[in-house]
């Protein structure tokens, strides 16, 4: 968990540096399990606001109304069933869902985006 946090922080700093509008979805909630009643009440409260297990860690907002959903995992991290379900839903709606494990993944994505933009500019 700590490793994924550090990767996500690095990604966020890099995206900010690249001026890519993005935001984090703080879905990794750790409740106080010693007070189960209070935890249950708080979870109910969060769900009433739209909390949904499995939602991607980051959302990138790109030109032309595009949004990209990114799950951040460590090198050996695996998606939960809720995360896989969210991915399937997002992709079925026509959005892009990515799994990033390092800054290399971000750089590869941004390089592909730049290549797409270049092709689009050259067509005109």
Chain segment 90-123, per-residue pLDDT in tens: 999 999 999 999 999 999 999 999 888 877 677 7
What distance in Å separates the CA atoms of residue 15 and residue 23, rounded to the nearest whole number? 10
- Which residues are within 8 A (CB) of 33 and not within 5 positions of it... i.e. 6 or more apart? 39
Domain ranges of the chain: 2-23+55-123
* pLDDT recorded at residue 109: 96
Confidence of residue 82 (pLDDT cuts 50, 70, 90): very high
pTM: 0.85
Task: List the end-to-end C-alpha distance of the chain, in Å, as a whole number.
Answer: 46
What distance in Å separates the CA atoms of residue 4 and residue 90, rounded to the nearest whole number? 22
* pLDDT recorded at residue 29: 65
Burial pattern 25-56, b for ≥16 Cβ within 10 A else e, equals eebeeeeeeeeeeeeeeeeeeeeeeebeebbb
pLDDT in tens, 19-72: 999 999 987 666 666 788 888 888 888 889 888 889 999 999 999 899 999 999
Closest CA to 68 of 57, 79, 80: 57
pLDDT in tens, 3-20: 999 999 999 999 999 999
CATH of 2-23+55-123, one of 3.40.1350.10, 1.10.10.10, 3.40.630.40, 3.20.20.140: 3.40.1350.10
Radius of gyration of the chain (CA): 17
Residue with tokens 């993005």: 22
């Amino acid at each position: 968990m700590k490793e994924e946090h550090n990767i996500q922080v690095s990604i966020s700093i890099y995206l900010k540096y690249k001026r890519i509008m993005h935001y984090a979805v703080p879905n990794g909630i750790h409740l106080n399990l010693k007070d189960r009643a209070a935890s249950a009440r708080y979870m109910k409260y969060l769900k009433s606001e739209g909390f949904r297990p499995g939602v991607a860690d980051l959302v990138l907002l790109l030109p032309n109304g595009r949004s990209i959903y990114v799950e951040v995992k460590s090198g050996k991290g695996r998606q939960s069933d809720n995360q896989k379900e969210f991915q399937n839903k997002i992709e079925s709606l026509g959005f892009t869902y990515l799994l990033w494990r390092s800054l290399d993944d971000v750089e590869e994505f941004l390089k592909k985006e730049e290549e797409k933009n270049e092709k689009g500019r050259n067509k005109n």
